[in-house]
Amino acid sequence: MGNFQLIGQENRARRGSFSTPHGVIQTPVFMNVATQAAIKGAVSTEDLYRLECQIALSNTYHLHVRPGDDLIHDLGGLHRFMCWDKPILTDSGGFQIFSLAKLRKIREEGVAFNSHVDGRLLFMGPEESMKIQANLGSDIAMAFDECVKIPSPRKYVQESADRTYRWLLRCKTAWQQNCEDEHAVNPGQMLFGINQGAVFHDIRREHMKRIAELDLPGYAIGGLAVGESHQEMYDTIEAVEEWMPKDRPRYLMGVGTPGNIIEAVARGVDFFDCVMPARNGRHGHLFTKKGIINIKNEKYLRDETPIDPECRCPVCSRYSKAYLRHLFKAQEMLAMRLAVSHNLFFYNHMMEEIRQHLELGTFESYRSQYSGILDKRI
Amino acid sequence: MGNFQLIGQENRARRGSFSTPHGVIQTPVFMNVATQAAIKGAVSTEDLYRLECQIALSNTYHLHVRPGDDLIHDLGGLHRFMCWDKPILTDSGGFQIFSLAKLRKIREEGVAFNSHVDGRLLFMGPEESMKIQANLGSDIAMAFDECVKIPSPRKYVQESADRTYRWLLRCKTAWQQNCEDEHAVNPGQMLFGINQGAVFHDIRREHMKRIAELDLPGYAIGGLAVGESHQEMYDTIEAVEEWMPKDRPRYLMGVGTPGNIIEAVARGVDFFDCVMPARNGRHGHLFTKKGIINIKNEKYLRDETPIDPECRCPVCSRYSKAYLRHLFKAQEMLAMRLAVSHNLFFYNHMMEEIRQHLELGTFESYRSQYSGILDKRI
């Protein structure tokens, strides 16, 4: 018996549960991004419980650079450091190295790069990434991969996918060794492999088949949501989905809008993460069941109603649009906290609705009602 | 029977209670500053309940300029606007006009000035200030006064104190009329008079005697903590204290450090407010029973203990110094929220300790133990 249980299915959409050392996750699930061991917008891990959050995601690259994964290890791991006793997933650091760091050089061993904080030269390969994630003690560690740009030449994408496969073999070995270490923070840590191949369906499929053979606890589709169209993304998911093990969770990395998530659930995806609810919130863009509103709009000046009258979040149960608009206009930090809190609740609660509809076999009707409208600006 | 009840006394220090339309305040009390209808540092009014806060203070000038007191009136007043059902005190706007606004011109009628937000020309006199505060619906309105610089020439201070007295007569008339208005947001609003006179004891005393005759619900000492020494401030309090009505609360405006507050309580003061706990918190300066620490200090890098092991605040009960230091170093907004929360709790809880010691008759021993050390940087 694996950690993933498939509870039900509606067409290709899946309702499941996933056991981790810090509790069971009900899927489909949205992971709440806590990049530097903190949620952006002054939201605390204590708040996350009230925001129906099941799992937090932190960034290996950021925490390695500051405060250092050795420090977090010595202080008992990331759960204890950030006071969060539910599951945590850490990414591999690869995405940030390829998007944030300077002067990177990719070799078979790994990647040399300069820290974006102080410029010091660092090196990360599969073993380093797995060691950092072991130090952090997350429940789910992600394999170290290269996330290639879209578009990239086919030849480069093939070479990169092959290297990412070789890196995954090394990740698996390192992960198994780390879990057996007597000083392991989280000996039950699991490794997810990552599928790459840009938007070349045949490269994606071949790569997926090879990594599926490694019998890992979960699999991710990486390298999407980096500039391709929504349709290309959906087509790519469809191309690899049938080669993903049915009895393992599937994670679509960095996706996406509420509509993207609904469409990806319909195509068989279980795990999601995205900075969008926090980032949009900080700019005053708030999700509702009718679409996205800009709370700074003049029309909310005297609006006494909550952001979304249907919403049961801690913000909508107390504060008016007029007050939130005032906070944004007055540049009060509280504006961001309340906006991010609402948006995170919106995402988590949408996942709860999706799960309920999957249980009732009514997901397709939920999808047709909401997939098109939730991303619209109103 | 007035709204103020003197429950006990130890030397000149007073333990009392003050009834307002939004509940009874136990004194001595610290008022938590919510300048623009929000606490700085992303602290919400909901948090204030957990921080042992009894009363919030908002700023007439700021709220008049943005979002406008007419808007807040139409939305049911400040309590409803910011979701806070305990007492609120509003200042008169005078202090901000004299410190923030540009191109002010003082006349007998009031003060013409330019908004610090958009530069538009505004005018505020006693009637305007009282009308704005009536619109906000605070429980305690402050009289419109001139806060003179220290040092200022004696002649100017005398003229200003005389004018502030004449303004107070007009404030009293306007306040009484506003409370009788059928559209009054808070018909039980009370007016506090403000004593001025810089550090000229005779001017202070004469002014205090005259305003005491007006039989107002409370009296403040204004115009201190603007650059004079602590000793000058204490001497000035002592000079006027005996002329302040015993059966009315006394409010020392804008004061101060924990040590200042203890010393002013010892001199017969009941109400305090200060931006210090929030401002210091935002810079990582945290109050403890042993003095002020700078959480950004290298020595806290691996410190697993809370800010103050004796503290029962929501921050100290969860987070380590190492985590807080990381949040500040990583420039996470959450750093400020947690730091401000701790500091506000520290102030509110110190007032609770002062009240308990006054009840037990042990305030002098509390004073000698803490008055000297709480303000020290350690």
Please report residues of A whose CB lies closer than 8 A to that of B320: 75, 81
- Let me know if A273 is a catalytic residue: yes
Q: Residue A331 class from Cβ within 10 Å (0-12 exposed, 13-18 middle, 19+ buried)? A: exposed
The reply to whether A71 touches chain B by the CB within 8 Å rule is yes
Single pTM value for the model: 0.97
Query: Which residue in chain B is spatially nearest to A65 when comparing CA positions?
Result: B330
The reply to whether B338 touches chain A by the CB within 8 Å rule is yes
- Do the Cβ atoms of B314 and A41 come within 8 Å? no
In whole angstroms, give the CA distance from residue A88 to residue A136.
Answer: 10
> What does the pLDDT read at residue A97?
84
- Arithmetic mean of pLDDT, A85-89: 98
- Do the Cβ atoms of B41 and A337 come within 8 Å? no
Indicate if the pLDDT at residue A59 is higher than 70: yes
Closest among B158, B136, B150 to B89, alpha carbons compared: B136
- Arithmetic mean of pLDDT, A9-32: 98
| Active-site residue set of B | 91, 273
> What does the pLDDT read at residue B84?
98
- Do the Cβ atoms of A322 and B67 come within 8 Å? yes
Indicate if the pLDDT at residue A358 is higher than 70: yes
> What does the pLDDT read at residue B239?
97
In whole angstroms, give the CA distance from residue B185 to residue B179.
Answer: 9
The reply to whether B37 touches chain A by the CB within 8 Å rule is yes
Q: Rounded to 10 degrees, what is the CA torsion of A225, A229, A234, A240?
A: -70
Please report residues of B whose CB lies closer than 8 A to that of A302: 71, 74-75
DSSP class of A190 = E
- Do the Cβ atoms of A83 and B43 come within 8 Å? no
> What does the pLDDT read at residue A99?
81
- Do the Cβ atoms of B326 and A66 come within 8 Å? yes
Please identify which of the residues A69, A91, A139, A375 carries the catalytic annotation. A91
B255-267 pLDDT, tens digit per residue, is 999 999 999 999 9
Over the range B269-304, which residues count as b (16 or more CB within 10 Å of their CB) and which as e? bbbbbbebbbebbbebbbbbbeebbbbeeeebeebe
> What does the pLDDT read at residue B103?
64
Of residues A227 and B238, the one with the higher pLDDT is B238
Q: Rounded to 10 degrees, what is the CA torsion of B125, B129, B131, B136?
A: 160
Residues in chain B predicted with pLDDT less than 50, given as ranges, are 1
Indicate if the pLDDT at residue A1 is higher than 70: no
> What does the pLDDT read at residue B295?
98
Torsions phi, psi for B142 (to 5 deg): -105, 145
Collapsed DSSP state (helix, strand, coil) of residue A287? strand
> What does the pLDDT read at residue A196?
97
The reply to whether B275 touches chain A by the CB within 8 Å rule is no
Indicate if the pLDDT at residue A10 is higher than 70: yes
Expressed in angstroms, the distance from the first to the final Cα of chain A is: 47
> What does the pLDDT read at residue A116?
86
Sign of CA dihedral B18, B24, B29, B33: negative
Please report residues of B whose CB lies closer than 8 A to that of A74: 302
Question: Do residues A193 and A211 lie in contact, with contact meaning Cβ atoms separated by under 8 Å?
Answer: yes
CA Rg, chain A, in Å?
Answer: 20
> What does the pLDDT read at residue A231?
97
